[in-house]
Structure 1
Amino acid sequence: MAYGSRPAASRAHADYVTATALSANGPARSTVAASWWRSLVQHGLDPAGARPRRAETLSGPELRQRMENSDLLMHVARAKLDHLYKCVSLSACGVFLSDADGVVLDARWRSGDQTSFESWGLKPGRSWSEAAVGTNGIGTCLAEERALIIHRDEHFLDRNISMSCIDAPIYGADGQLIGALDISSARSDQTATANQMIAALVRETARKIEADCFRHGHSGQRVILIDDSDEGDAVVAGGAAVALLAVDENDLVIGATRGARLALGLAASGPFSPVPADDLLAGGAADTGLASAERAVILKALARQNGNASRAAKELGIGRATLYRRMKRLGLPSRFEQN
């Protein structure tokens, strides 16, 4: 368990969840217990399932509409879900993609495990939001916007305690949460160590999906990766995030992934006013992917013009003074300034 000692065999899971969620310090000491409290108090759920909620499975037309609303996410994710499934399928794991509301949109599983997953309701069209089924991988990942593992009896509902769920959030090009990537295990002997290994795959795949969504959203702009020295600060609630910037022809940053936004002090989501790349990356420009790209462009222009800065500036479509300022900032050889 994530909090306290494991309950005695004679004590029902539902009783333990209720007692822990309503205890004086349980929710404060454990993120799982805090989720149990939300499930019990905020969402009015019963861990024993005695107070069932309304139907949680979408109709065919409703699911198709959800899928259309998440068309880019599904398109970008499809091949990556296939690859991820190949990595974990022999471990009786299924791969699931949800939208931002926790509705499962796509799934991969072995035919032999299908019955187990469907008996839990882990299938396309089913809502796995925290409000619908309490603490679980997909719903709690979305509620807390962080990568996490919900292992077996950390689930809120007693009907779900046979599962281990490993999840990571996915953000869209504007920094908004657009879905969750989940691997759930049908193995009764799934270990915490195995969960940690799978979690690394889930986080990495979620980052790749997010990066491709960003590139699709900024297909007309130059997309720059903030390199590892800066990306280390780009952390989204417990998981390293992809840090990309979209730069227009005027060297203005007009888009950024969630990780880049948090690392550079931009609005976490939604539109923001264009920011000069030089200003945004001040103090570390020489160490960034943006500076490397700019240095390469300038050096190529100078090489084509035999080191003549005036002609290189004309080729680049900027003034000679502007070129000199950029050369100085990038630490380019002073010999070019004499031409």
Structure 2
Amino acid sequence: MLDGTSLALRRERHDRFLQVAAPKLDQLFGLVGDSGCAVLLTDETGIVLDRRCTEGDAATFCDWGLTPGADWSEAAEGTNGIGTCLTEERRVTIHRDEHFLARNIGMSCMDAPIFGADGQLVAALDISSARADQTEGFNRLIAATVDQTARAIEAEFFRVSFPGARIVVADSGDHPGSMLLAVDKDDIVIGATRNARRALGLEPVGRLVPRPAPDILGREEGATGFEKAERAAVMRALTRAGGNVSQAARALGIGRATLYRRMKRLGIGEQG
């Protein structure tokens, strides 16, 4: 169990992530809080960073050790929702006597991992219930909601990690979860979520080697790739200028006559 100072330092290290996650935790708790469940968010080591529960249930969850600063790694608690989720890097449900330690067998825990913009494991999202009448069917329903919320946090954290980039949603195919790419102003892919990395054969973790977006998304550029890029630049300038060639030429930093020649070569009429 971390003391207050150590927990504060741990939370500070994950400050941006916690800010992104907080509204999603509130929404999730709004769905399950009245049923006697607690919502917890841990770091990648199993330390609880944040918790949502009703005031009436707070003492119960504190008695169970489900409180900020607690260590729920497998090394500390054996098989449990949080620790097993982090160890196996997948969504899990640990129902009552599936827990390793006898003191935890009264709980049901539904967990899903959250991965950062670099593909590395960053957190576990947990819903825990100590209700004796908690059914496995109800657990499955909660588990699906936990996983959905985890993917929403993961996607939003990815977006804020690339503030100047366009975020492209890739075709998920048979890969569930967030399939997002970050593309810069030059149409170069500079980031990808874990699921996108796995589905598209990119580096599984760490810094992504920059690649042209068409190379990854399967759009053919062919031998006229530079012409297409030039045409796109001219079309953007003309569109922004409302079709005014002189104004578009100034925006492109070239003469009006030069722009006309390029328009003719690229097959662009004055009406676009």
Which bracket does the TM-score occupy, shorter chain normalised?
0.7 to 0.9
TM-score (norm 1): 0.67
Hey, what's the Cα distance between the residues in 2 that align with 1:197 and 1:221? 35
User: 2:209 matched to which residue of 1?
Assistant: 273
Asked if structure 1 preserves the Cα contact closer than 8 Å seen for 2:190 and 2:208, the reply is yes
Given the alignment of the two structures, is residue 143 of structure 1 paired with residue 79 of structure 2, yes or no?
Answer: no
Q: Residues 298 and 63 from structure 1, CA distance in 2 versus in 1: closer, same or farther, beyond 3 angstroms?
A: farther
* Shift, 1:307, TM fit: 8.7
> Secondary structure in 1 aligned to 2:190?
strand
Bigger Cα displacement from structure 2, 204-213 vs 94-103: 204-213
**How far 1:231 moved relative to its partner?**
1.2
1:250 aligns with 2:186: yes
Cα displacement string for residues 7-32 of structure 1 (whole angstroms, at most 9, x for unaligned residues): xxxxxxxxxxxxxxxxxxxxxxxxxx
- Structure 1 residue 120 displacement after superposition: 1.3
* Distance verdict in 2 for CA 1:200–1:312, change over 3 Å: farther
Give the equivalent residue in structure 2 for 1:34.
none
Deviations 1:241-285 (A, max 9, x none): 211111111111011111111111111110021011011111599
Q: Does 1:94 align with 2:38?
A: yes
Distance, in Å, in 2 between the alignment partners of 1:314 and 1:195 is 63
Task: State the SS of the aligned residue for 2:7.
Answer: helix
How has the CA–CA distance of structure 1 residues 59 and 298 changed in structure 2, closer, same or farther, with 3 Å as cutoff?
farther
Q: Name the aligned partner's letter for residue 233 of structure 1.
A: D
Counterparts in 2 of 1:217 and 1:89: CA distance versus 1, 3 Å: same
**Shift in Å at residue 115 of structure 1?**
2.2
Calculate the aligned-residue CA RMSD, in Å: 2.9
Distance 1:233 1:189, change over 3 A: same
1:148 and 1:172 map into 2 onto residues whose CA distance is 19
Match of 2:200 among 259, 264, 272: 264
**Does the CA contact (< 8 Å) of 2:51 and 2:67 recur in 1?**
yes
Residue in structure 1 matched with residue 174 of structure 2 by the alignment? 233
**Counterpart contact for 1:148–1:166, Cα < 8 Å:** yes
The equivalences for 1:62-141 within 5 A come to 62-141=6-85
- The 8 Å contact of residues 241 and 258 in structure 1, kept in 2 or not, is answered as no
Aligned partner letter, 1:183: I
**Runs (5+) with no aligned partner, structure 1:** 1-56, 235-239, 286-295, 325-335
Identity of aligned pairs, percent?
54
Q: How does 1:1-339 map to 2 (within 5 A)?
A: 57-226=1-170, 230-234=171-175, 240-282=176-218, 337=267, 339=269
Q: Map Cα deviations across residues 145-183 of structure 1 (whole Å, 9 max, x no partner).
A: 001111111111111011110011011111111100000
